[in-house]
A and B are shown apart, each in its own frame.
Chain A
Amino acid sequence: MASTIRVRAIAADGNVEVQSLIRHPMDSGFMKNDKGQIIPAHFIQTVTFETKGKIVFTAFWGPAISKDPYLKFSYQGGAKGDPLTISWTDNEGMSDTLTTKVA
């Protein structure tokens, strides 16, 4: 199955700018389906970005983050070719991980 994670990590002058998009419904638990039934909350709670054994960024999310969530941040001390591992877990215990290389 294809990864749920899309990421762009670009190094410039020792700084790495990271943008990611994760395929996830991020159901808030307050919306109804076509039949008028509440769609249970289903949302990513934790996203981590790790490079060379160190977590450079953590996002803790509630259910009010938009569907297919987007993130942008940057960290220092990275270089082109570095591995960057993105992992998420949601409130149902589902998860996904992707390792990419800094461009």
Chain B
Amino acid sequence: MMTAELSRTQPDEDRRLVLRCLGLALAGGAGTMLLSSFGRPALAADVPAKPVWPKDAFTCKDEASALKALGWEAPVASDKITLVLPEIAENGAVVPVSITAAMPDVRSIAVMIPDNPFTLTALFPLAAGTAPDIACRVKMAKTAKVVAIVAAGGKLYSATRDVKVTLGGCG
């Protein structure tokens, strides 16, 4: 099993990251350097050889600042995204989610849960030839919306589903 004895992230570090996210959101557009990684690259070569976890985006606490941290504009709702989630999740600890995007030139898929402590849940930059069709399992703190955001052809699209989370004492 995972070793538990290694050093943990310092709380100060966490606080600093959160502040950085907020500052970044207020500054507006400061995240443009990430644009080439997750937004609108025209070339497959833009997929980084050694992907770097986008720390700024993952510490944001709302959708607007998470989008800004990724260098993304507000997405437009699209029915070309199939976002599959249970209507009622029996337990928020494991909620199966799958996302399929039917538009051409999909470069990235993101999962955001704005009511969770941190909004950005997962980000999948896609290499050329990788299908815009992925599945994972997420945690949800409470009944909330889940947003799938797709960067494709230089534009941003989204689909949203409401998931009711029950944590019944008697399963």
- Are the CB atoms of B51 and A41 closer together than 8 Å? no
Q: Given A28-B139, A46-B53, A62-B120, decide whether A56 and B127 contact each other with a Cβ distance below 8 A.
A: yes
Residues on A with C-beta less than 8 A from B118 are 62-64
Nearest CB on A from B117, distance (A): 6
55-92 of chain A: CB within 8 A of chain B? 55-67, 69-77, 91-92
Residues on A with C-beta less than 8 A from B133 are 73-74
- Are the CB atoms of A55 and B49 closer together than 8 Å? yes
Residues on A with C-beta less than 8 A from B53 are 45-46, 60
Chain A CB within 8 A of B167 CB: no
Residues on B with C-beta less than 8 A from A75 are 127, 129-131
37-52 of chain B: CB within 8 A of chain A? 47, 49, 51-52
Q: Given A64-B116, A64-B118, decide whether A46 and B51 contact each other with a Cβ distance below 8 A.
A: yes
With beta carbons under 8 angstroms apart, the residue of A55, A60, A67, A76 that contacts B122 is A60
- A residues near B (Cβ < 8 Å) are 4, 15, 23-26, 28-30, 40-42, 45-46, 48, 54-67, 69-77, 91-94
- B residues near A (Cβ < 8 Å) are 1-3, 6-9, 14, 47, 49, 51-54, 58, 93-95, 98, 113, 116-118, 120-127, 129-131, 133-141
